[in-house]
Homo-oligomer: A and B are copies of this chain.
Amino acid sequence: MSRLRFRISISLDGFVAGPNQSVENPLGVGGMRLHQWALPLAAWRAPHGLPGGEVNESTPVVEASLANIGATVMGRNMFGGHPGPWDREKPWSGWWGVNPPFHHPVFVLTHHPRDPLVLEGGTTFTFVTEGIEAALEQARRAAGGRDVSLAGGASVARQYLVAGLVDDMMLSLVPVLLGSGERLFEGAGDDLHGLELVRTVAAPGVTHLQLSRP
């Protein structure tokens, strides 16, 4: 069974982005602090076309999060939608350039119908207006038996979580406080919707908590 998997970096006080998110600063003020543990890793650098890097306890976590993924689902804001750098003269094609690092079908949740966007390297963006279940169904079909990655952002991830559709959630808990910003679990209720803590990985600057559906 193809599983819906989700990994996100989160602060001790529950934020996944800092305040004042914008097109120029999509992580919000201080949000970059959530990702410092990952940037030096060879496992992070390689998919971004960068040589070298470190190997540490986070390496297998990052590698596993990228392995056996056949399709991705993401929200409109993560792709970059209204309001944002859309432009009818030159349609927005995502943040990732002409050869995005996905290399598989990506399904973007949106309220604005749009033809699929075929880019280089195997990445096709398909725009889904029928909601989260339809997007997941299309992604599962496209994944050809492999898993589906839930790329975010937080709002879409929370919708899938609350609907009980997330099978595996890796929280990369970073020992910082952001103080304000976007909370992953805001309004998610008092229930993990069938997920249980199955694994903890201590690594430099981060503790990974894997919560899975048994």
A175 touches B190 (CB 8 A): no
A189 touches B177 (CB 8 A): yes
CB closest chain-B residue, reference A12: B185
Q: Main SS of the interface on chain A?
A: loop
Chain B residues whose C-beta falls within 8 Å of the C-beta of A13 in the assembled complex: 14, 183-185, 188
A177-B200 contact given A12-B171, A171-B12, CB 8 Å threshold: no
B179 touches A189 (CB 8 A): yes
Q: Which of B12, B173, B176, B190 contacts A177 (CB 8 A)?
A: B190
CB closest chain-B residue, reference A30: B190
CB closest chain-B residue, reference A205: B197
Count of A interface residues, CB-CB < 8 Å: 30
CB closest chain-B residue, reference A196: B175
B209 touches A207 (CB 8 A): yes
A191 in the interface (beta carbon within 8 A): yes
Q: Which of B175, B179, B202 contacts A211 (CB 8 A)?
A: B175
Chain B residues whose C-beta falls within 8 Å of the C-beta of A176 in the assembled complex: 190, 192
What CA separation (Å) do A8 and B117 show in the bound complex?
50
Given contacts A175-B196, A178-B190, A179-B188, 4 further A-B contacts (CB under 8 A): A14-B14, A30-B190, A177-B185, A202-B202
24 contacts between A and B (CB under 8 A): A12-B14, A12-B171, A12-B185, A12-B209, A13-B183, A13-B184, A13-B188, A14-B14, A173-B173, A175-B197, A175-B209, A175-B211, A176-B190, A177-B188, A177-B189, A177-B190, A178-B190, A179-B188, A179-B191, A197-B207, A199-B202, A200-B200, A200-B202, A207-B207
